[in-house]
Structure 1
Amino acid sequence: MNSFLLYICLVFAFITPTNPKLTLTVNNIKPIQGHIVIAVFNTETNFLKEEGRIKKYTMPVTKNTQELVITDLPYGEFAISIYHDENSDGEFNRNYLGIPKEPYGFSNNVKPRFSAPKYKDCKFLFNENKTLTINMIN
């Protein structure tokens, strides 16, 4: 009996829970150069600020539509912002008025009008494998 219990414990020790899969499709990428930078947030506090993000992903641009599969996020509520770092300088470039000079996008395809979007508009529930599509705003 003790051997059986030890066997069961060993089997469960080697089974690790897998995180859900978030597939992110980014459309309307142009020009074909630089990198796409993806930031993930899970709270309204410091939304769109570097200190507020919980994850950051970068992928080189190779075509107009690209896909990233994220497997290191737990279930929860998140919002995503992306930008196309066309010149690969590691910054989201803006003009002297603060208007973006590089393409960008948000989860739920929020299109801000006169200011940055709010977390509540970009948030989504990640409670199962999910596919999100974000269209770049050029």
Structure 2
Amino acid sequence: MNILFLFTTLISTLFSSENPELIIKVSNIEKIKGEIKIGVFNKETNFLKEIGSIRNYAIKVNKSTAFITITDLPKGEYAISMYHDENSDNECNRNFMGIPKEAYGFSNNFKPKFGPPKYKDCKFTFLENKTLNIEMIN
């Protein structure tokens, strides 16, 4: 009887639906219009591609700093990519060389130098309530 109780307690703890809270603070927003589009990734495969994100969020821009609280993300390892969709066309507009014309940002405030970041550059561990501060690159 005690073994059954312990087993039930262990299983309910492991499969608890309670997720930690992830708060993302986005700063350095220059243009007060459009939305910040956020993609959450959990592996290197298709990182930065729309098909690779496991969750997507949007924040309406109405000041130079924006916040979003995410409560539907289970504990794990993730990387975040975002861009400021200023013209509300649902894509990160780029110039002829492929460089974003709209502001963008990554978890760990990774700033790419010669090409897009890799998953390992942006990944972080999410096991408890956490706040990420991401500064947009303009």
Deviations 1:30-85 (A, max 9, x none): 10001000000000001000111000001110110011000000000000000000
In the alignment, which residue of structure 2 is the partner of 1:94? 94
| Greater than 2 Å deviation, 4+ residue runs | none
In the alignment, which residue of structure 1 is the partner of 2:35? 35
Equivalent residues in 2 for 1:18-97 (5 A)?
A: 18-97=18-97
Unaligned regions of 5+ residues in structure 2, if any? 1-11
In the alignment, which residue of structure 1 is the partner of 2:3? none
Deviations 1:3-32 (A, max 9, x none): xxxxxxxxx9xxx63211000000001100
Instruction: Note the aligned Cα RMSD (angstroms).
Output: 1.1
In 1, the alpha carbon distance for the partners of 2:87 and 2:80 equals: 21
Count of paired positions = 124
In the alignment, which residue of structure 2 is the partner of 1:9? none
Deviations 1:93-119 (A, max 9, x none): 001110110000000000001100010
Instruction: Percent identity, please.
Output: 64
Question: TM-score under structure 2 normalisation?
Answer: 0.87
Largest Rg, 1 or 2: 1
In 2, the alpha carbon distance for the partners of 1:67 and 1:36 equals: 10
Contact 2:59-2:67 at 8 Å conserved across structures: no
In 1, the alpha carbon distance for the partners of 2:59 and 2:129 equals: 21
What is the identity, as a one-letter code, of the residue corresponding to 1:29?
Answer: I
Contact 2:85-2:92 at 8 Å conserved across structures: yes
Contact 2:33-2:62 at 8 Å conserved across structures: yes
